[in-house]
Amino acid sequence: MKLSISQSITGCPDAVIRFVAAKKPLTFSDHELSQVYLDFFADDKILLEHKQIRSIRLLFHGGFTTLLLAGFDSAVSAPFDAFREVLAKLGTELNRLKIQTVVLERFSEVTFAAEQELLEQAACTLPLCEYTFDRYLSKKAARREYQITVLANPEYQDALAEGKSLAESVCTARDLVNEMADIMTPEELALRCQKLGEEKGFSVKVLDVEDCEKAGMGLFLAVSKGSSLKPRLIVMSWNGGEMDQPPLGFVGKGITYDSGGLAIKTSGMESMRFDMNGAAAVIGAMCSIAEQKLPYNVVGVVAACENMVDANSYRNGDVIRSMSGKTVFVRNTDAEGRLTMADAMTWCIRNCHPSELIEVAGLTGSVCSFYGDICAAALTADQDMFERVRQLQPLTGEKIAQMPYFEEYRELLKSPWADLNNSPANGPGGILAGFFLDSFREEVPFLHIDFGAMPFTKKTSDGQPEGATGFGVKTLYYYAKHRCMTKR
């Protein structure tokens, strides 16, 4: 999809999109379009409901165009969510009509946010409606090159570019998660990161097994032992800030396939290629951070491996020493993500010295069950960090609730055989997973986000096919962007 800004409509586009105030008479910012509409519908008293879309065929500039009218009430309780929902519906309609050239009229009747913010949201939402993962289908849908011209102030070109970049990064994350596990191996994930780094401008360092052994990453290496595929620690760096500025750190779960290990899963293994969705979110965010040249230092770390079963697999009941020196009793080999991320966190903290650390993963069934497909869950001892994430939610549309942080939960992680139990029986799983990882933060301000069920869907909706959603990319990007303003 190509996006550009103009101040007037030239020629006859295939379609014109106009947001109008719900339950109020239609108006247009373009004089010629307004006149054409009045010539045909002078006596039409149409009033659109909130989020109602109406399609009208008009003779315009010597040809025919489809006028797509979208009713919108700026006074609703969650206007950003509603705005994105309407944009996604319009994108679906453009696909259905096989539209190629589109003019997006000025947002003069949408008043809940500044024009610049609305442009960014439109540029981040409409391209997602084109997304499909059909790499393995013999018969693929025809692809069209869309050209959307937005009537807006030319000074807002940067907002349009930023939104487009975020949409591309979300699609990158979707591609990484949707890819089949026999293709998206730890080594392949590292190679794709290196290619993206070359394209977008961030640097990538890849540590192999020997490097991880020298670092003492016992937890990470234990999880990978059952696989014939070698693990990779992937370190992505964007140095947009001052040389001596401590970076913002991101750590993402990179389990490219999860069988459960010796605690083998009894169902759902066909979807376990999705288990590296945290890594995909970090990678996608790093793409936009570098592409938008944020004036901040950011490092992203992914411990990529498979959790498989063979004679070398780590066992339920093993005690393993982490890179931090803490020992862990492995009650459940299917609680592997937190083990790999604990070592990834330690590596990041001791080698990159981040000012603060955000760790993301689709980690527990507990969060899936409790929060459903509505929101993710966060745990932190640093309330300011969660507040910064919470304040971003209107922009991102990625809802994140806060789990309780009470020290009594930490007591449940104790084991008579080791410093920590990776998965205590019959406990509040999502909270305990967060506290387990919190045990490795080494006094660095830390926020744990369990994506739960948000990174993938079995339903098709406007702008979202079945499969990966790219959840988390926008939260991490905007968090980094907003940290630029405070220069912490």
DSSP secondary-structure letter at 464?
B
Mean pLDDT of 46-56: 94
Q: Are residues 192 and 245 in the same domain?
A: yes
Among 113, 161, 157, 149, which Cα is nearest to 30's? Answer: 149
Catalytic position from the list 192, 253, 273, 338: 338
* Least confident stretch, 92-96, 167-171, 295-299: 92-96
Q: Are residues 269 and 325 in the same domain?
A: yes
What does the pLDDT read at residue 339? Answer: 98
Contact 455/472 with Cβ under 8 angstroms? yes
- Domain boundaries, position 98: 2-152
When pLDDT is cut at 50, 70 and 90, the band that residue 484 belongs to is: confident
371: Cβ contacts below 8 Å, ≥ 6 apart: 377, 401, 452, 453
Q: Are residues 137 and 79 in the same domain?
A: yes
What does the pLDDT read at residue 43? Answer: 78
76 alpha-carbon distance from chain centroid = 25
Among 110, 112, 205, which Cα is nearest to 151's? Answer: 110
Residue 422: which CATH number?
3.40.630.10
When pLDDT is cut at 50, 70 and 90, the band that residue 55 belongs to is: very high
* 143 noted as active-site residue: no
The answer to whether position 65 is within a domain reads yes
Residue 120: left (phi > 0), alpha (psi -120 to 50), or beta? Answer: alpha
The CA R_g of the chain, rounded to the nearest whole Å, is 24
What does the pLDDT read at residue 488? Answer: 53
Q: Are residues 184 and 314 in the same domain?
A: yes
- Find where tokens 């069209």 sit: 144
The answer to whether position 81 is within a domain reads yes
Mean pLDDT of 345-367: 97
Q: Are residues 169 and 207 in the same domain?
A: yes
Q: Are residues 146 and 30 in the same domain?
A: yes
Contact 418/329 with Cβ under 8 angstroms? yes
The answer to whether position 306 is within a domain reads yes
Among 152, 181, 206, the domain boundary falls at 152
* 23 noted as active-site residue: no
For the stretch 128-187, pLDDT in tens is 999 999 999 998 877 777 899 999 999 999 999 999 999 999 999 999 999 999 999 999
Residue 75: which CATH number?
3.40.220.10
Among 194, 110, 115, which Cα is nearest to 156's? Answer: 115
What does the pLDDT read at residue 41? Answer: 85
Among 486, 329, 309, 294, which Cα is nearest to 419's? Answer: 329
Contact 150/114 with Cβ under 8 angstroms? no
Query: Under DSSP, is residue 58 helix (H, G, I), strand (E, B) or coil?
Result: strand
Q: Are residues 397 and 475 in the same domain?
A: yes
The number of folded domains in the chain is: 2
Contact 257/181 with Cβ under 8 angstroms? yes
Q: Are residues 332 and 470 in the same domain?
A: yes
Among 123, 464, 468, which Cα is nearest to 280's? Answer: 468
> Which sign does the torsion angle of CA 475, 481, 482, 484 carry?
positive
Q: Are residues 76 and 210 in the same domain?
A: no
What does the pLDDT read at residue 487? Answer: 62
Q: Which two tokens stand for residue 473?
A: 């990319």
As a residue count, the chain comes to 488
Contact 80/113 with Cβ under 8 angstroms? yes
What does the pLDDT read at residue 1? Answer: 86
Among 103, 120, 152, the domain boundary falls at 152
What kind and span of H or E run contains 214? helix 209-215
Catalytic position from the list 23, 140, 265, 293: 265
